[in-house]
Structure 1
C-alpha cells in the first residue's frame, strides 16, 4: 500500500470513529428534551446512556466473535451501516422503548468497529509507525468529545433532540462511502474462535486489559465530577468551566497524538511515564483546586495525560495478541467504558459522602494500581516486530 493510500485509510477511519464517538455521549446532554418528548423522567431517559455502555462492553466482544471469519473490508462497512441503522431508529423513535432499541443497535457496532479500525490502521503503515497510527484513529474520539458532543448538544437544544441523530445517520452513511472507497481489500482471517479466546486468556493480555480498566477508572473518578469540583471548590464560573473543559479536550487531543509518537519509540517508557504522570497529577488535584491558577494547571495536565494511555495500551494488546487480535482489542475497548463507569461510581460515592475535593486521591490510587500492573505486563526486553501490528519498540 502506498503512503497516500495509507493516509487516506487512516483519515477515513478517524472520521468514522469521530461519528461513532460523538454518538456515545451525545444523548447525555439531551436527557431533559428526550424525557419531555417521550413522556419519561430524566432518570429513566438516562438509561439510554447505560444501555449504550452495556452494549459496548457486552456486545462488542460478542460481535467480534460472530464476525471473526468475515473479510475485513466488508465487515467494516457492515458495522458502519449497522451504526447508521441504530442512529436512524433513534432519530425517528416514537417511544422510549424504540429509542433504547436504536441505542443498543448502535452500541453493538461501537467496540467491534473501533477494534477493527485500530487493527486495520496498524496494517496500512510501516511497522515502526504503529503507535502513531493507533493514535490517529483514536483521535477521532478525542475530537468527538472536544467538538462533536457539544455541537450536537447545541443543535439538539435548538432544533430538537432528534436532529443530532439525523445528522449522525447522514454522516455515518458518508463515512460508509469513504470507507468503501479507500479501505484495502483484506482476506478473511484464518484464525479460529478458539485462537481468539486463547489470546484473551493469555496472562499478559488479561493484565493489559485490567490495566486499561483500572487506569481509566482513575481518570473518570475525577473527570466525571470535574465541573462541580471547579465551581464549588475552585470558585470558577460556569462559563469559565466550559472554557477549561474545552482546554481539557484540546489537551487530550494533543496528548493522544504525542503518546502515539512516543509509543513508536519506546512503549515501556511511554506506558510507565504516562501512568506515573497520571498518578502524580491526580494526587495533586485536591491540593491544586483550592487556588484557581494551580487548578488551571492541573486541568490542563490531566487533559494531556487522560487519553495518552490509549495508543500504548492498545499497542501493548496488539503486541501480545499475535495473529488473533480482534477479540482482545474489542474487549480492551470495552475496558475503557467499564473503567469510565467504575470511576463515575467511585467518584459519585465520594461526592455523596461530602468528599468532592478528594476524588483525586481515589483516582491516584487507581492510577497507581495501573502503574503496578504495567510492571507485570510490559516486555522486559526489546522485542523485534513480527508484523505491522507489532511495530513499537519495547525498551525499558
Structure 2
C-alpha cells in the first residue's frame, strides 16, 4: 500500500485520540473551569455534532482545492484549536475550539477517504479504507489510554498540547506523501458539478449503504460508550479493568477492520453474511453473560472485531455506491459513521434513564443490529453488487 495512506492514518490516529479522550478528562476540566460535569459533557456533544455537519460542508467548501491543500489546512486548524483549547481559561472558548476541531476532523476524514481511493487501484477501496480507519482503532488501543494517563499525571491541558504536537509529523508526512501525481489523480475525478454530486444522495443504493453503516456504528457506540459501568458494576471488576476492556475492544476493532479490508472489496457478501449474524449474536450473549468477568473481557474483544469488520465493510459500500461523487463520497461515508456515533450513545443513555438497567445500551446495540440485518436481508442484492 502507498506510503501516503499511512501518513493519513497517522493523522486519523491523532484525531481519533482527541475524539475519545475527553471521557477521562471531563471531571478535571469541569473542576478547573468551574462548571458542572454535565456542562463539561457538552464538549463531547459539540464534537459529535460538528463531525456530522462538518463532513459534507467542509468537503463541499474545499472540493475545488487540491486534496493536499485541504488536508493540510484541516490539520492546521485541528492543531491550532487544540493549542488554543490548552491555553484558554474560559469554558465557552474551549467549547468553540471543540466545534472547530470537529469541523477540521470531519473535513480531513472526508477528503482523506476520497483521496485514499485515488491512491490505490479501483478494486482496492476496502483495503485503503481499512488502513485509514486503523488510525481510529489504534487510537482506542494506545492513544486514549495514554491521553488519560498523561492527563492524570500532568493535567488535562498537557493532553491537549500533546495532540497539537502530534499533528506535526502528520503534517510533514502529508506534505511529502501526497504527491502532485496523487493530487492530479484526485482532482481530475472532480469534474462533476456539486449539484450532480449531491444528487447521488437520491440513489437508493447509496442511501441503503449509509443507513446500514449508521445503524451498525450506532450499535457499536451505544455499547462502547457505556462499557465502564458494565465492567465495574455488572462484572464487579475494579476500575483498572475498564482500561483493560477498552484496550481489548480496540485490539479487536483493529484486527476486524484489517481483516475486513482484505475481503470487503471482492467478497463483501461473505463479510456481511457471516459477520452480521455473529455481531447480533455477540451483543445478545454479551448482555446475558456480562456478570462473568472472563466472558465479558473475551466478548468485548470479539465484538470489537465484528463491529468494526462489518461496519467498515458497509462504509466501503458507501464509497462504491457514491463513485459518481468523487469529491463528496468521503463526506457521505464520514456522515454515516458519525450519525451512528452521535445517535448510538443518545439511544443508550435513553435506555439507561428509562430504568432498563446498566445493560440497556448493549440491548440497544442488539436492536440496532437486528434492524440493520433485517434491511440487509430485504435488500441483499442491491447492497452486495456495488462494485464501482
* TM-score of the alignment, normalized to the shorter chain, above 0.5: yes
Does structure 1 residue 148 correspond to structure 2 residue 150?
no
SS in 1 for 2:263: helix
Find 1:34's aligned residue among 17, 26, 29. Answer: 29
Find 2:154's aligned residue among 151, 159, 182. Answer: 159
SS in 2 for 1:308: helix
Residue 162 (structure 1) shift: 1.2
Residue 120 (structure 1) shift: 1.6
Q: Assess, with a 3 A threshold, how the Cα gap between structure 1 residues 231 and 34 changes in structure 2: closer, same or farther.
A: closer
Q: Is the 2:216–2:311 Cα contact (8 Å) retained in structure 1?
A: no
Does structure 1 residue 366 correspond to structure 2 residue 368?
yes
SS in 2 for 1:322: coil
Q: Is the 1:256–1:308 Cα contact (8 Å) retained in structure 2?
A: yes
Unpaired segments of 5 or more residues in structure 2?
Answer: none
Does structure 1 residue 208 correspond to structure 2 residue 203?
no
CA RMSD of aligned residues (A): 2.1
Which residues of 2 match residues 76-87 of structure 1 at below 5 A? 76-87=71-82
Q: Which residue is equivalent to 1:181?
A: 176
Q: Which residue is equivalent to 1:249?
A: 250
Q: Is the 1:255–1:307 Cα contact (8 Å) retained in structure 2?
A: yes
Q: Is the 2:5–2:131 Cα contact (8 Å) retained in structure 1?
A: yes
CA–CA separation in structure 2 for the residues paired with 1:264 and 1:53: 29
Does structure 1 residue 132 correspond to structure 2 residue 133?
no
CA–CA separation in structure 1 for the residues paired with 2:385 and 2:216: 25
CA–CA separation in structure 1 for the residues paired with 2:356 and 2:324: 49
State the TM-score, normalized to the length of structure 2: 0.92
CA–CA separation in structure 2 for the residues paired with 1:301 and 1:98: 40
Q: Could you list the per-position Cα deviations for residues 192-219 of structure 1 after superposition, in whole angstroms to 9, with x for gaps in the alignment?
A: 1112211122111112111111112222
Q: Could you list the per-position Cα deviations for residues 81-120 of structure 1 after superposition, in whole angstroms to 9, with x for gaps in the alignment?
A: 1212212221222311111121111111112211221222
Q: Which residue is equivalent to 1:171?
A: 166
Which residues of 2 match residues 175-324 of structure 1 at below 5 A? 175-185=170-180, 186-187=183-184, 188=187, 189-324=190-325
Q: Is the 1:79–1:113 Cα contact (8 Å) retained in structure 2?
A: yes
Q: Assess, with a 3 A threshold, how the Cα gap between structure 1 residues 244 and 17 changes in structure 2: closer, same or farther.
A: same
CA–CA separation in structure 1 for the residues paired with 2:261 and 2:153: 37
**Number of residue equivalences:** 381
Q: Is the 2:116–2:129 Cα contact (8 Å) retained in structure 1?
A: yes
Q: Is the 1:89–1:101 Cα contact (8 Å) retained in structure 2?
A: no
CA–CA separation in structure 1 for the residues paired with 2:312 and 2:54: 23
Q: Assess, with a 3 A threshold, how the Cα gap between structure 1 residues 373 and 51 changes in structure 2: closer, same or farther.
A: same
Residue 373 (structure 1) shift: 2.5
CA–CA separation in structure 1 for the residues paired with 2:294 and 2:363: 20
CA–CA separation in structure 1 for the residues paired with 2:106 and 2:316: 16
Q: Which residue is equivalent to 1:119?
A: 114
Residue 379 (structure 1) shift: 4.3
SS in 2 for 1:69: coil
Residue 231 (structure 1) shift: 2.3
CA–CA separation in structure 2 for the residues paired with 1:381 and 1:161: 44
Q: Assess, with a 3 A threshold, how the Cα gap between structure 1 residues 212 and 141 changes in structure 2: closer, same or farther.
A: same
More deviation, 330-339/167-176? 330-339
Find 1:97's aligned residue among 83, 92, 98. Answer: 92
Q: Is the 1:118–1:134 Cα contact (8 Å) retained in structure 2?
A: yes
Q: Is the 1:60–1:108 Cα contact (8 Å) retained in structure 2?
A: yes
Q: Which residue is equivalent to 1:54?
A: 49
More deviation, 346-355/314-323? 346-355
CA–CA separation in structure 2 for the residues paired with 1:165 and 1:382: 42
Q: Assess, with a 3 A threshold, how the Cα gap between structure 1 residues 373 and 110 changes in structure 2: closer, same or farther.
A: farther
SS in 1 for 2:29: helix
Unpaired segments of 5 or more residues in structure 1?
Answer: 1-5, 391-396
Q: Assess, with a 3 A threshold, how the Cα gap between structure 1 residues 311 and 215 changes in structure 2: closer, same or farther.
A: closer
CA–CA separation in structure 2 for the residues paired with 1:24 and 1:220: 13
Residue 69 (structure 1) shift: 1.7
